[in-house]
């Protein structure tokens, strides 16, 4: 049995930094202290077992035993077996890290969240347990709309503070890239504010944040009975927000309780004129043909997909769209209709996993837990699950510089006190992440506050 990881790799966290800003102390501690190497320096990470997830490594998980990684600045310069390390790379490094046989994986990527919002929906959770359905709650003005009201009422610093606390939990479990959707503002002013908070998170915490405009999430009360007028407004806001640099992608919720395919098409057409990629909440509660529509626009991903048809699967395969599966929402809503995993496999549609973190249908703050749920509920294999939160999640965000460990990729990786990558899917409620490295820099642990 391998037990080398017990010789723990010692983190080099620095002392807390003082700051007069209410959020600044924490931010400085995360960004400024405890970094493992000077930016631009070269470091050696050795005596580890690396799940590269490279297709070229002919082992499950692209596994390399007794591996060495050479990091140069923010990127990987070399990854391979220690004995194969070229001599010219062995010297000239400013730092060397002995990982004691620990497991290394790419940094995890949570490619679908709604992380910026006010309030919680714990009371609706209680109502559902008393018999109310998600759709019935939404029709009665609850659901997304109650979070919209709480988000609009929240002070910006409180939105940021609560989102930071949630993000820190994900970061400590190895998440190094995070997608955040708007969609709880539902006015130009409030959608902008949520996207700005998402951008601010990336300034304060050491991880990449990708923003997605989800104006077509729900109908705000001021547009009651006027869904087409609201879509006109969303189409008008999008160029403004895009020109302000706040939008990396565009999403919509295509469902009976949200927007029709025709309405989604109008939003996507504006996205296309702006050169923005699209994604879609599709086929979660019924088959609306949303995935096929999104595929027409070359969607990065279609997400949820419990009711996805065979035609929808084919359309996604043709467009190269990623299927983002969200077992947290499936579990929390006690759904029983499974996404068509066998058909997705058969047609070669890459599968990603995400938390879908949101206060209504998936208050999940553990991407690791999604690995286990994907295996137990959807019958993914542990290797499929790990690829789903790395390689395929990167693709769902249109990012080609991360998600596997190979020369030229970003040096985003996690060191785990585990023997084998299948344990990432096996354990429940056990975070064995020892060290998170983002762009070549080891991130010190920071306390979770709220
Ligand atoms: Zn969602």
Whether 312 and 416 share a structural domain = no
**pLDDT of 28 over the 90 cut:** no
Ligand 1 mean position to 281 CA, how many Å?
A: 6
- The residue segments making up the domain with residue 435 are 4-106+403-443
Note the pLDDT of residue 90. Answer: 83
Ligand 1 mean position to 390 CA, how many Å?
A: 19
Note the pLDDT of residue 149. Answer: 94
Ligand 1 mean position to 358 CA, how many Å?
A: 7
Average confidence (pLDDT) over 385-407: 98
Domain count, the chain: 2
Note the pLDDT of residue 447. Answer: 53
Contact, 287 vs 308, CB < 8 A?
yes
Given pLDDT bands bounded at 50, 70 and 90, which one contains residue 421? very high
Contact, 193 vs 159, CB < 8 A?
yes
Whether 139 and 76 share a structural domain = no
Note the pLDDT of residue 236. Answer: 98
Which has more confidence, 322 or 36?
Answer: 322
**CATH number (domain holding residue 144):** 3.20.20.140
**pLDDT of 25 over the 60 cut:** no
Whether 96 and 57 share a structural domain = yes
Whether 141 and 53 share a structural domain = no
Residue 441, burial from CB neighbour count under 10 angstroms (0-12, 13-18, 19+)? buried
What confidence tens digit (pLDDT) does each residue in 113-158 have?
A: 999 999 999 888 888 899 988 778 877 767 888 899 999 999 999 9
What average pLDDT is seen over the chain?
Answer: 90
Look at residue 449 and tell me if it is in a domain: no
Look at residue 219 and tell me if it is in a domain: yes
Look at residue 450 and tell me if it is in a domain: no
Look at residue 448 and tell me if it is in a domain: no
Note the pLDDT of residue 143. Answer: 81
Whether 299 and 238 share a structural domain = yes
Whether 154 and 264 share a structural domain = yes
**pLDDT of 233 over the 60 cut:** yes
Note the pLDDT of residue 39. Answer: 55
Look at residue 423 and tell me if it is in a domain: yes
Ligand 1 mean position to 110 CA, how many Å?
A: 12
Ligand 1 mean position to 251 CA, how many Å?
A: 9
Whether 113 and 204 share a structural domain = yes
Tally DSSP H helices, then E strands, for the chain: 17, 15
Note the pLDDT of residue 159. Answer: 98
**CATH number (domain holding residue 68):** 2.30.40.10
Question: Around 401, how many Cα atoms within 13 Å sit in the side-chain half-sphere?
Answer: 13
Look at residue 361 and tell me if it is in a domain: yes
Given pLDDT bands bounded at 50, 70 and 90, which one contains residue 299? very high
């Amino acid at each position: 049995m391998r037990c080398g990881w017990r010789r723990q790799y010692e983190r080099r966290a620095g002392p807390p930094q003082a700051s007069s800003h209410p959020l600044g102390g924490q931010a400085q501690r995360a960004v400024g202290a405890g970094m493992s190497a000077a930016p631009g320096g070269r470091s050696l990470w050795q005596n580890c077992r690396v799940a590269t997830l490279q297709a070229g490594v002919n082992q499950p998980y692209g596994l390399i035993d007794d591996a060495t990684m050479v990091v140069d600045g923010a990127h990987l310069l070399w990854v391979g077996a220690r004995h194969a390390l070229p001599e010219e790379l062995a010297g000239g490094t400013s730092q060397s890290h002995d990982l004691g046989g620990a497991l290394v994986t790419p940094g995890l990527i949570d490619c679908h969240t709604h992380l910026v919002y006010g309030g919680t929906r714990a009371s609706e959770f209680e109502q559902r347990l008393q018999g109310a359905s998600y759709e019935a709650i939404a029709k009665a003005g609850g659901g997304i709309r109650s979070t919209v009201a709480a988000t609009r009422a929240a002070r910006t610093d409180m939105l940021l503070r609560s989102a930071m606390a949630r993000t820190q939990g994900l970061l400590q479990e190895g998440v190094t890239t995070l997608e955040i959707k708007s969609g709880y503002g539902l006015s130009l002013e409030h959608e902008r504010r949520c996207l700005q908070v998402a951008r601010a998170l990336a300034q304060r915490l050491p991880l990449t944040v990708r923003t997605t405009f989800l104006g077509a999430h729900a109908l705000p009360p001021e547009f009651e009975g006027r869904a087409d007028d609201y879509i006109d407004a969303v189409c008008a806001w999008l160029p403004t927000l895009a020109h302000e640099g706040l939008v990396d992608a565009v999403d919509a919720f295509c469902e009976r309780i949200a927007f029709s395919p025709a309405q989604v098409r109008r939003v996507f057409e504006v996205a296309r004129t702006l050169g923005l990629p699209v994604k879609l909440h599709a086929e979660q509660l019924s088959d609306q043909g949303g995935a096929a529509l999104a595929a027409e626009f070359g969607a990065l991903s279609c997400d949820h997909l419990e009711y996805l048809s065979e035609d929808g699967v084919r359309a996604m395969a043709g467009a190269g769209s990623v299927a983002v599966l969200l077992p947290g929402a499936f579990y929390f809503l006690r759904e029983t209709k499974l996404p068509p995993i066998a058909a997705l496999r058969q047609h070669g549609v890459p599968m990603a996993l995400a938390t879908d973190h949101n206060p209504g249908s998936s208050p999940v703050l553990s991407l690791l837990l999604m690995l286990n749920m994907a295996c137990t509920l959807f019958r993914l294999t542990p290797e499929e699950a790990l690829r789903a939160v790395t390689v395929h999640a990167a693709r769902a965000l249109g990012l080609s510089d991360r998600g596997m460990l190979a020369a030229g990729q970003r040096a985003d990786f996690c060191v785990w006190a585990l023997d084998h990558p299948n344990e990432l899917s096996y354990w429940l409620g056990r975070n064995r992440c020892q060290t998170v490295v983002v762009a070549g820099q080891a991130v010190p642990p920071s306390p979770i506050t709220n």
